[in-house]
Amino acid sequence: MVAAAVILGADFNIEGLRDSKRMTPREREIQKNRIIGSACLWGIGVIGPAIIDKVNILQATFLAMKQAISAIRMSPEMVLVDGNRIIPEIDNKQKAIVGGDAAEPAISAASILAKTYRDAIMVKFDESFPEYGFARHKGYPTPEHIASLYRYGPCSIHRRSFRPVSTIQTGSDDS
């Protein structure tokens, strides 16, 4: 789980910022470099598969968001959160925005940084586990990834709570 927090400078040109899922990898890289190269403040939070399995994906998301906010050199006056829930146990004022990654430039920027950071992690994992094709599907449940799971079983970076993995481990498929 990767989350990012971004504070955009008042003079930052928001042109090109949008939901990272609606961008090509090249567009995301261009915007990532622009965000990182600007006067913006940003932080990244990363939570590994063992913690996700222990606390669940939602709680892991909150932990990653807290890490990302803590990594920024200043405390934001307002934290804009993509989704319908605010982050528990932080002192900052917060506002949850459903579809925020498409509607709010700072959330778009954070989405871009988180996605590119996560993709880079998956490309690196591909070096250790080439049989899974992580560099191509980035860990998402594509047919290639699911086929690899059935063929090789889960590796150490797979979340045991990830449905295809839990299905393979129990031998059931109730979908």
Write the pLDDT tens digit of every residue in 100-119.
Answer: 999 999 999 999 999 999 99
Digit-coded pLDDT (tens) for 38-88: 978 999 999 999 999 999 999 999 999 999 999 998 889 999 999 999 999
CATH code of 118's domain: 3.30.420.10
Looking at the fold, whether 20 and 77 belong to one and the same domain comes out as: yes
Which pLDDT tens digit goes with each residue over 20-48? 999 999 999 999 999 999 978 999 999 99
Best CA proximity match to 15, nearest among 43, 1, 40, 34: 34
108 contacts 17 by C-beta, under 8 angstroms? yes
The three-class DSSP label of residue 15 is: coil
For residues 38 and 144, give the distance between their C-alpha atoms in angstroms, rounded to a whole number: 37
Report the alpha-carbon distance of residue 49 to residue 101 in Å, rounded: 24
Whether residues 84 and 139 fall in one domain: no
Is the domain of 150 the same as that of 117? no
